[in-house]
Amino acid sequence: MPKFRNPQSLRAGGPLGPEAEIRNPDPQHSKKKRVGLFGGTFDPIHYGHLRAAEEARLKLPLDQVIFIPAALPPHKLREPLSDPNHRLEMVERAVAGNVYFSVSEVEITCLEKPSYTVQTVEYFLSRVSVEIFYLMGMDSFREIETWKEYRRLLQLCRVVVVTRPGLPGGSRISCPPKLKPLFSRSLRDLADPSKRIFILPITGSEVSSTQIRGLARAGQSIRYLLPPEVEEYIQEKGLYENPKSKAQNPI
């Protein structure tokens, strides 16, 4: 399946836009396609993200997973992020070899900043007739009650929380009491419209972007934590280097 990278086609929902690309090729087949949206800063994207997306795709299952790099995530407003175009390029390179994965630059080029997940999901639903599963790690889910219009978000799509080892407080599965009625530990409940939040145990990886940035800044190896194409890009552009040692190369 082709990627939708072009913001014009995304905005217009035109022939090259998401409508065309996610549309079910079989018109007799009435079942809606299942699309996973995976938002994050991806600074940089790593194997923890990719494996989580792959296991979600296979276990739910999903027809496609769309990675959505955030322009300026509301919860990370104080941290200096790499240029969005660098982060977008790294995600593009990382997913290039997987036909089920694609990248959307909607939060970077189309939506107001900071953009909120609920707006992103609305954006997709207004353009394509699909079932959306919003993927996130346990650390993100722990903050869900701080997300803008999170109840509305849970009405619009199902949230799939992947396990993530190495978090402070352990990998304890904690669902806010108010959301417990919407929560299920079993994917067998996917057909139950009242269940909106699912836990998906995946092959755990403690890797984080913070760890990779720290290693790169210290001049240490980041190999095998992320795809080689992304590692090459980081080196080529001088990303995450100690600012005193070298300036970033242009995009």
Return the residue of 82, 102, 115, 140 that touches ligand ATP, per CB under 6 A: 140
Would you tell me how many other CB atoms lie within 10 Å of the CB of residue 15? 9
Under the criterion CB under 6 A, does residue 89 sit at the interface with ligand ATP?
no
Task: Please answer whether residues 160 and 133 qualify as being in contact, where contact means their C-beta atoms are separated by less than 8 angstroms.
Answer: yes
CA distance 186 to 87: 34
Provide φ and ψ at 245, rounded to 5°.
-85, -35
18: CB partners within 8 A, 6+ apart: 4, 10, 104, 124, 127, 128
Under the criterion CB under 6 A, does residue 48 sit at the interface with ligand ATP?
yes
Under the criterion CB under 6 A, does residue 86 sit at the interface with ligand ATP?
no
Which residue's CB comes closest to ligand ATP?
A: 137
Of 93-101, 146-154, 206-214, 219-227, which segment contacts ligand ATP by CB under 6 A? 206-214
For ligand ATP (CB under 6 A), the number of binding residues is: 18
- In the complex, the smallest distance separating the C-beta of residue 50 from ligand ATP, rounded to whole angstroms, is 10
198: CB partners within 8 A, 6+ apart: 158, 159, 160, 161, 183, 184, 185, 186, 187, 189, 190
- Quick one: angle between helices 84-95 and 228-237, nearest 10? 150
- In the complex, the smallest distance separating the C-beta of residue 52 from ligand ATP, rounded to whole angstroms, is 4
Of 93-101, 132-140, 147-155, 237-245, which segment contacts ligand ATP by CB under 6 A? 132-140
CA distance 244 to 228: 25
Task: Please answer whether residues 64 and 1 qualify as being in contact, where contact means their C-beta atoms are separated by less than 8 angstroms.
Answer: yes
Nearer to ligand ATP, 19 or 89 (CB): 89
- In the complex, the smallest distance separating the C-beta of residue 15 from ligand ATP, rounded to whole angstroms, is 31
Nearer to ligand ATP, 127 or 157 (CB): 157
Under the criterion CB under 6 A, does residue 209 sit at the interface with ligand ATP?
yes
Of 45-53, 123-131, 151-159, 178-186, which segment contacts ligand ATP by CB under 6 A? 45-53
Binding site for ligand ATP (CB under 6 A): 40-43, 48-49, 52, 136-137, 139-140, 162, 164, 205, 207-210
